[in-house]
Amino acid sequence: MASVGFWNRMGNLWKGFVSLWISDVEKKHPEIAYENAINSMVEKYSKLKRATGAIIRRREDVNERLQKASTALQRVEQDLNTAVATDQRELGLILLQKKNTLTAEVAELSGELQSAVKDADSAKSSLLQVQSEIKKLKAERERMLAKMASAEVRLRIQEQLDGLSVDGEVKALDNVRSHIKDTIAQANLGDELGESDLDQQLQKLRQKSGQVSANSEWERLRTAAAANAQKTM
């Protein structure tokens, strides 16, 4: 007994392990989970369909028996009326007993038929419900798998974007910016140097102009002095 209990526990443990493994696989592959669920529901639908067929067959059988019993009752009633009219007492008593038996049978079959009709209607309703659920599940599978595929594509794009490095491009632009600034600075320096040379040239020119003016003024004064000296002689 202890050995049997051990193996039962091992069996339950193994079933639990397999269930967890299947659950993990289905999470990674949702199409498998949907396929398994749909196949399970289809299998239940097939079983329910066979059961519904049997219930409908029973309803038809009961209805057929009721029709036969009702027809037999009508004939017995007609024969009983004829026996009464012709005063056939012994035959009438037999027909009367048969009528009572058929009346009870018709009543019983009528009740059985009502129950069979309810069972058939309930079974058909359940069958249609399961069929509708299968269609809904198939539509959900297509919709959810499409969303899953779209999400996976978005994740791959995000991963690719996250893996892209723009350091090289930024560094290259920094080098370009620095080169442009250096070139501009050199151009500005050339302008500044050109302005400095022009200032120096102007300063030298002004100095020479001053010397020329001073020399001219000196010569003018010397000439004037010499002229005055000649006049006084």
Return the C-alpha torsion angle 75, 79, 80, 83, nearest 10. 180
Question: Taking the CB of residue 34, how many other CB atoms lie within 10 A of it?
Answer: 18
76: exposed, middle or buried (C-beta count within 10 Å: 0-12, 13-18, 19+)?
buried
Q: Does domain 2-164 have CATH number 1.10.287?
A: yes
Lowest mean pLDDT among 51-60, 77-86, 90-99, 164-173: 164-173
**What whole-number distance in Å separates Cα of residue 46 and Cα of residue 219?**
137
pLDDT higher at 138 or 183: 138
C-alpha to C-alpha distances, 104 to 100, 110, 118, nearest whole angstrom: 6, 10, 22
pLDDT at 119 over 90: yes
Position 104 pLDDT exceeds 50: yes
| Distance in angstroms (rounded) separating the CA atoms of residues 157 and 147 | 15
Question: What digits encode the pLDDT tens for the residues 129-147?
Answer: 999 999 999 999 899 888 8
- What whole-number distance in Å separates Cα of residue 155 and Cα of residue 126? 42
Q: Whole-model pTM?
A: 0.51
Q: Between these two residues, 190 and 33, which has the higher pLDDT value?
A: 33
- CB-based burial of residue 216 (10 Å sphere; 0-12 exposed, 13-18 middle, 19+ buried)? exposed
pLDDT at residue 52 is higher than 60: yes
pLDDT higher at 5 or 188: 188
Residue 151 has pLDDT above 90, yes or no: no
Per residue in 14-29, pLDDT tens? 454 434 434 555 566 7
Between residues 23 and 115, the one the model is more confident about: 115
Task: Decide: 118 and 29 in contact? Cβ < 8 Å.
Answer: no
Contacts of 77 (CB under 8 A, 6+ apart): 99
Query: How far apart are the C-alpha atoms of 19 and 148, rounded to whole Å?
Result: 23
Measured from the Cβ of residue 59, the count of other Cβ atoms closer than 10 Å reads: 21
Which sequence spans correspond to the domains of the chain? 2-164, 172-233
Among residues of the chain, what percentage have pLDDT more than 90? 41
Q: How confident is the model at residue 94 (pLDDT cuts 50, 70, 90)?
A: very high
Q: 8 pLDDT exceeds 80?
A: no
* pLDDT (0 to 100) of residue 226: 73
